[in-house]
């Protein structure tokens, strides 16, 4: 296999693992920010405000710079904008709910474990409903289905047997 093909075939994995690290740090860092606001009533909302500022810098200015450097068209189809806004809203609402979970006495280790065990299950169900696999659902390998089931069981176990419960 040529080197270029091999490099391209693992690039997605490198980016996925970078996301794992970033999102794995997210809950702990966000909780630290919330606690460091020294405001037991509104600290989580103050922390979330700065999450929004970080998103502005990262998710607005970053793509604008890349689009400009790539000489991209500034045409945005309504369908693409709509799905992207829905995705952004789901992500932001999820991040806000993480803060609310912390405010309701959830700890980063438990809250984020439940989130990251449950999210793949939800993702798999919705992704397969919206984009069925080639060959139908019967074409899915049993190992994948077992992995999804194990993620669900892991989320259940973390919920039921969390520290202090």
Q: What is the pLDDT of residues 34-83, one digit of tens each?
A: 999 999 999 999 999 999 999 999 999 999 999 999 999 999 999 999 99
Check: CB of residue 27 under 8 Å from CB of residue 98.
yes
As a whole number of angstroms, the distance between CA 104 and CA 100 comes to 6
The model's pLDDT over 87-117, given as tens digits with 9 standing for 90+, comes to 999 999 999 999 999 989 888 988 998 898 8
Three-state secondary structure call for residue 93: helix
């Amino acid at each position: 296999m040529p080197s270029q093909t091999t490099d391209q075939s693992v690039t997605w994995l490198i980016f996925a693992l970078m996301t794992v690290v970033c999102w794995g740090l997210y809950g702990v860092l966000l909780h630290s920010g919330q606690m460091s606001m020294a405001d037991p009533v509104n600290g989580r909302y103050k922390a979330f405000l700065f999450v929004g500022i970080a998103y502005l810098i990262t998710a607005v200015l970053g793509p604008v710079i890349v689009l400009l450097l790539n000489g991209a068209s500034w045409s945005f189809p309504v369908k693409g904008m709509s799905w992207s806004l829905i995705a952004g809203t789901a992500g932001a609402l999820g991040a806000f709910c993480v803060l609310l979970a912390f405010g309701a006495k959830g700890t980063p280790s438990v809250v984020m474990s439940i989130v990251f065990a449950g999210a793949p299950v939800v993702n798999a169900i919705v992704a397969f409903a919206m984009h069925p696999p080639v060959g139908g659902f019967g074409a899915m390998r049993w190992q994948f289905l077992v992995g999804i089931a194990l993620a669900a069981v892991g989320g259940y176990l973390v919920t039921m047997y969390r520290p202090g419960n």
